[in-house]
Structure 1
Amino acid sequence: MSMTSDPHVPRARSPWWFNLLGRLLEPWVRIKREPSEPASLLNSQTAVCYAIERDGVSDALILERACREAGMPSPMQILNLPGRRRRSVFSLSRRQGWLFGRTDSRGPKEPIGQLIQALEDAPERDIQVVPVSIYVGRAPNRESGWFSVLFAENWIVVGRFRRMLALLLNGRDTVVHFSPPVSLRSVLGESHGLTPERLTRKIARVLRTHFRRIRAAVIGPDLSHKRTVVDSVLNAEPVRAAIAATAARENIPLTKAARRARDFALEIAADYSHPVVRSTSFLLSNFWNKLYDGIAMHHFDKARAAAPGHEVVYVPCHRSHADYLLLSYQLHQSGVVPPHIAAGVNLNLPVIGPILRRGGAFFLRRSFKGNAMYSVVFNEYLAQLVDRGVPLEYFIEGGRSRTGRLLAPRAGMLVMTVRAFLRAPRRPVLFQPVYIGYEKLMEGKSYAGELSGKPKEKESLLGLVRGLKVLRQRYGHVTLNFGEPIELNPLLDAAAPDWRGVGGDPDAKPEWLNSVVDDLAERILININRAADVNPINLLALALLATPKHAMAENDLLAQLDLMKAMMVELPYSDRVTVTPMNPAGIIAYGEQMGWIRRVRHPLGDVLVAEGEQATLLSYFRNNVLHLNASAAWVATCFLNNRRMSRSSVLRLGRIIYPFIQGELFLPWNDEGFGQQLHETIDFFVRRGILESNGEGRLLERGPGQDDGAYQLRVIARSMLQAFERYYIAIAALVKNGPHTLTAAELENACTLTAQRLSLLNELSAPEFFDKALFRGFIQKLREARIVWTDDDGKLDFDAVLEDMVRDARVILAREIRHSILKITPGGENDRDLDARPPTDPGATSTSDSLHERHVAAERERHS
Structure 2
Amino acid sequence: MLKLPTWLTKDKPSDTHPAGTEHSRTPSPYRRASAKGLSLAVKPTLLGEVPVLDPAVPTFYVIRAYSRSNSLLVGMQTDELGLPSALAQVKAAGIHETSAMIFLKDRRADGATQSVPRLERLIAACLDNPELKVQLVPVTILWGRAPDKEESLFRLLMADEWESPSKIKQLFNIGVMGRDTFVRFSEPKDLQSLINDAKAGVGENLAATIAMRLMGYLDKQRTSIVGPDLSDKRNVAGAILSSPVVVDAIKNHANQTGKSIAAAKAEAQGYLGEITSNYSHSVVRFFDHFLTWLWTRLYDGVEVRHFERVRTLAPDYQIVYVPCHRSHIDYLLLSYVIYKRGLRIPHVAAGENLNIPILGDLLRSGGAFFMRRSFKGNALYSTVFKEYVHSLMQRQAPIEYFIEGGRSRSGRLLPPKLGMLAMTVNSYLRKPAKPVVFIPTYISYERIMEGATYVGELKGKPKESENLLGLLKTARKIERIFGTVHLAFGEPLYLTDFMAKFDVNAQSTDEQNTKNTHAMVQNLGVKIMQNINKAAVVSPVSLLALALLSAPNAALDETLCLEQIRLYQRIAQALPYDADTYVTDMTPRQIVDYGIKLKLIERRAHILGDMIRVADKQAPLLSYFRNNILHVFIIASFLAALVQRNGRIHRDRLDGITELLYPFLQAELFLKTALRNINHQVQQVLNLLIEQGVVVDLGDGVVGSAEGNSEAYQRLVVLASPAQQSLERYFMALTLLAKQGTNRLSSEQVVNLCYVVGQRISVLHADDLPDMFDKALFTSFLDTLVRVGYVSVDDKTGLLNFDNRIDRVAEFAKFVLHPDVMQLLSHTASLDHNEMVLAMESMDKKRKFGRAS
TM-score, with structure 2 as normaliser:
0.70
Q: Distance in 1 between matches of 2:227 and 2:563?
A: 50
Residue 484 of structure 1 deviates from its aligned partner by: 0.3
Of 349-358 and 658-667, the range deviating more from structure 2: 349-358
**Equivalent in 695, 699, 703 of residue 699 of structure 2:** 695
Q: 8 Å contact 1:139–1:152 — kept in the other structure?
A: no
Matches within 5 A, 1:407-556: 407-497=414-504, 499-502=505-508, 510-556=514-560
Contact 2:596–2:602 (CA under 8 A) maintained in structure 1: yes
Once the two structures are superposed, residues 469-528 of structure 1 have per-residue CA deviations (whole angstroms, 9 ceiling, x without a partner) of 12221211001011001111111122125x12428x9x9982222211101110000000
CA contact (8 A) 1:397 1:410 kept: yes
Partner Cα distance (1:390, 1:719) in 2: 42
**1:374 aligned onto 2:377:** no
SS class of match (1:342): strand
1:299 to 2:306 alignment: yes
Q: Alpha carbons of 1:140 and 1:544: their partners in 2 closer, same or farther (altered >3 Å)?
A: farther
CA apart distance, 1:641: 1.9
> Contact (CA 8 Å) 1:592, 1:598: kept in 2 or not?
yes
Amino acid at match of 2:254: A
The whole-number CA distance in structure 2 between the counterparts of 1:479 and 1:227 is: 36
Is 1:583 matched with 2:590?
no
Compute the displacement of 1:232 (Å): 1.1
Q: What is the 5 A alignment of 1:224-235?
A: 226-235=233-242
Post-superposition Cα deviations, 1:371-415, rounded to whole Å, max 9, x if no partner, equal 111111000001000100110000011100000000011111011
Q: Distance in 2 between matches of 1:465 and 1:827?
A: 44
Q: Which amino acid aligns with 2:429?
A: L
Show the counterpart of 1:746: 749
Does the 8 A contact of 1:436 with 1:480 survive in 2?
A: yes
Q: Which residue matches 1:313?
A: 320
Q: Is the counterpart of residue 705 in structure 1 residue 684 in structure 2?
A: no
Q: Count the aligned residue pairs.
A: 628
Deviations 1:413-467 (A, max 9, x none): 0111111111111211111010001000000011111111111222112222222
Query: 1:758 and 2:761 equivalent?
Result: yes
Match of residue 639, structure 1, among 638, 643, 664? 643
Residues 672-728 of structure 1, C-alpha deviations (whole Å, 9 max, x = no match): 3222221111111121122222436x2212211112111111111101211100111
Q: Distance in 1 between matches of 2:720 and 2:148?
A: 50
Larger Rg: 2
1:796 maps to 2:800: yes
Contact 1:401/1:407 (<8 A) preserved: yes
Which shows bigger deviation, 360-369 or 298-307?
298-307
CA 1:224–1:623: 2 relative to 1, 3 Å: closer
Give the conservation status (yes or no) of the 8 Å contact 2:230–2:279. yes
| Cα drift, residue 287 of structure 1 | 1.2
Corresponding position of 1:716: 719
Cα displacement string for residues 40-62 of structure 1 (whole angstroms, at most 9, x for unaligned residues): xxxxxxxxxxxxxxxx9xxxxxx
Mapped contact 1:340–1:361 kept (Cα < 8 A): yes
Instruction: Name the aligned partner's letter for residue 487 of structure 1.
Output: Y
CA distance in 2, matches of 1:554, 1:715: 14
Partner of 2:432, secondary structure, is coil
Give the counterpart of 2:393 among 386, 389, 392. Answer: 386
Using the alignment, how far apart are the partners of 1:221 and 1:629 within structure 2?
A: 49
Mapped contact 2:437–2:495 kept (Cα < 8 A): yes
- 1:683 is matched with 687
One-letter identity of the residue aligned with 2:314: A
Query: Residues 31-430 of structure 1 correspond to what in structure 2 (within 5 A)?
Result: 223=230, 226-430=233-437
Aligned mate of 2:596, from 586, 592, 596: 592
The letter for the 2-side match of 1:725 is E
The code of the aligned residue for 2:655 comes to: L
Q: For the Cα contact (< 8 Å) 1:342–1:363, is it kept in 2?
A: yes
SS at match of 1:558: helix
Flag the 1:500–1:458 CA change in 2: closer, same or farther, 3 A: closer
1:725 aligns with 2:728: yes
Give the aligned residue type for 1:757: R
The residue identity in structure 1 corresponding to 2:822 is R
Picking from 564, 569, 576, the partner of 1:572 is 576
Q: How many angstroms does 1:600 deviate by?
A: 0.8
Aligned counterparts of 2:148 and 2:556: Cα–Cα separation in 1: 49
SS in 2 for 1:370: coil
SS of residue matched to 1:549: helix
Residue 724 to residue 313, structure 1, CA distance change in 2 (3 Å): same
Identity %: 40
- The letter of the residue matching 1:645 is I
SS in 1 for 2:697: strand
- State how far apart, in whole Å, the 2-side matches of 1:771 and 1:274 are: 42
Is the 1:550–1:611 Cα contact (8 Å) retained in structure 2? no
Aligned to 2:19: none
- CA, structure 1 residues 225+664, in 2 after alignment: closer, same or farther (shift >3 Å)? closer
Distance in 2 (alpha carbons) for counterparts of 1:652 and 1:508: 37
Specify the code of the residue in structure 2 equivalent to 1:767: P
What root-mean-square deviation, in Å, do the aligned CA atoms of Structure 1 and Structure 2 show?
2.8
Shift of 1:346: 1.4
Out of 660, 669, 689, the position equivalent to 2:673 is 669
Please state whether the residue corresponding to 1:602 is helix, strand or coil. Answer: coil
Displacement of 1:290 in angstroms is 1.2
Separation in 2, partners of 1:452, 1:747: 17
Equivalent residue of 1:676, what SS?
helix
Shift of 1:274: 2.3
- Distance change (3 Å), C-alpha of 1:617 and 1:142: farther
Give 1:368 deviation, angstroms.
0.9
Tell me the distance in 1 between the aligned counterparts of 2:155 and 2:757.
62
Q: Do 1:246 and 1:373's aligned partners in 2 also have CA atoms closer than 8 Å?
A: yes
Shift of 1:824: 1.2
SS at match of 1:789: strand
d(CA) in 2 for partners of 1:252, 1:148:
44
Please tell me the residue identity of whatever aligns with 1:346. N
CA change 1:774–1:148 in 2 (3 A) is closer
Distance in structure 2 (CA, Å) of the matches to 1:604 and 1:140: 62
| AA partner of residue 728 (structure 1) | F
Separation in structure 1 between the aligned mates of residue 351 and residue 438 of structure 2, nearest angstrom: 20
Name the residue aligned to 1:861.
Answer: none
Q: How does 1:21-32 map to 2 (within 5 A)?
A: none
Cα distance between partner residues in 1 of 2:723 and 2:436 = 37
1:658 corresponding residue in structure 2: 662
- Equivalent position of 2:842 in the other structure: none
1:502 partner SS:
coil
Distance 1:686 1:587 in 2: 25
Q: Is the CA contact (8 Å cut-off) linking 2:403 and 2:418 kept in structure 1?
A: yes
> What SS is found at the alignment partner of 2:618?
helix
Asked whether 1:767 is paired with 2:767, we answer no
Q: How far 1:355 sits from its partner (Å)?
A: 1.3
CA distance in 2, matches of 1:751, 1:149: 50
Cross-structure match for 1:629:
633
Aligned match of 1:783 in 782, 786, 810? 786
TM-score by length of 1: 0.70
Contact 1:387 1:426 in 2 (8 A): yes
Secondary structure of the 1:639 match is helix
Mapped to 2, the partners of 1:221 and 1:312 lie a distance apart of: 21
* Post-superposition offset of 1:145: 8.4
| Distance in 2 separating the partners of 1:752 and 1:541 | 24
Contact 1:539 1:564 (C-alpha < 8 Å) held by counterparts: yes
Matched to 1:408, the amino acid is P
When residues 495 and 267 of structure 1 are mapped into structure 2, their CA distance, relative to the original with a 3 A threshold, is same
